[in-house]
Amino acid sequence: MKGSILQFLIFLLLFLSLITVFCLFAYFHWFDTGYHPGSMSTAGFLQVLPAIILRFLPLSIVVSVVISFFATLKFRINRFVSFLLILAGATAIYFFGFIGISSIAGTARKSMSQSVAFYPGRINPFEKQPIYFEKADNDKLYKTVLRDNAGLVYRDEIKRRSLEKVILSNSDPNPYYADLLTPPGFLKLLSRDLDRFNLEIKRLSLKSDYYLLFFIASQILFALSLWSLLRIPRWPLIAVILSLVLIRALFAFYSYWDAEILNKILPFVPSDMVKDNVFPLLLLVVSLVIFLLDGVISGIRRSRRGRTQ
């Protein structure tokens, strides 16, 4: 029992460490691309922090659940108790964390849009769509790029209208973080996949808390089922690499599923409730299959040991 509680505490520590690292990286990268003199203020950080946490919450939780497996290599642990503790604890943190931070993020976004200052030649955070422009006068912004759900939108000029609080200023090139915090290509792909994943979480949260809870629980259950696969390699380093590959594969597969597969199978799904929960159901089935195979393989191993003895 003590080992199981210790493993749960390790999971919590991993989660807090990962979400802190991800948030700092994201914020400093935003500072690098949208630098202006006030961007590193405490107020500025607190305004964007809820949105950053929401973006990396799924990744942080899933990675922490999977990596906490390695505590079993050090401590005596009751697998069933550990399973229940982490399933219940991670699901609760994920579910209530998402709901609570979503409401805070909405309030912070409104506050930010009321007091934002924009700078030419920089990517400026603004509500849900970052904005870039080369120059401006009293009425218009020129050579402007906006980002919306369809991607990047270019305009030769747009009227300021709701952007009345634009402050014209010459911003110096950002002297910090430029090389260190420029994400490589694979991180950009991960960010794209996380955005898709987060959109689905938000969609389900608007539909029903029960749908959201089911989706979250299916993710945690899938992450826990990966413990069975991580016991296969004899070398811990191979297990670490395998765990990272499997986690990355989850978000990549969802992105492919959402873009290529989902719309093709929906016409054959009779129930609206099932349509809203196709991917969570798929995760649930895959998890149960992994648990079943693990039970069968463990049974075969025990029977072989009994024969040899």
* Residues 192 and 81 grouped into a single domain: yes
Q: Are residues 129 and 196 in the same domain?
A: no
Beta strands 123-124 and 151-159 are: unpaired
pLDDT tens readout for residues 152-185: 666 677 665 555 444 444 444 444 444 444 556 6
Are residue 91 and residue 155 in the same domain, yes or no?
A: no
Interval 57-100: pLDDT, tens: 999 999 999 888 887 777 777 888 888 999 999 999 999 999 99
Residues 62, 12, single domain; the answer is yes
Domain match, 141 and 34 both: no
Task: Identify whether 178 is part of a domain.
Answer: no
pTM of the entire predicted model: 0.72
Answer yes or no: is 285 within a domain.
yes
Domain that holds residue 149: 123-163
Q: What's the one-letter identity of residue 45?
A: F
In this structure, the answer to whether residues 156 and 220 fall within a common structural domain is no
Q: Which residues contact 243 (CB under 8 A, 6 or more apart)?
A: 66, 67, 69, 226, 230
Helix or strand holding residue 94 (H, E): helix 79-115
pLDDT digits (tens, 9 = 90+) for 100-111: 988 887 665 554
Same-domain status, 101 and 140: no
Task: Check: CB of residue 274 under 8 Å from CB of residue 267.
Answer: no
Confidence band, pLDDT 50/70/90 cuts, at residue 32: low
Residues 137 and 245 in one domain: no
Judge if 66 and 193 occupy the same domain.
yes
Query: Does residue 308 form part of some domain?
Result: no
Q: Would residue 175 count as lying in a domain?
A: no
Region 267-295 average pLDDT: 83
Same domain, 99 and 247: yes
Same domain, 199 and 283: yes
In a domain, 170, yes or no: no
The whole-angstrom separation of Cα 274 and Cα 272 is 5
How many domains, in total, are found in the chain? 2
User: Which of the pair, 236 or 284, is modelled with greater confidence?
Assistant: 284
* Residues 12 and 96 both lie in one domain: yes
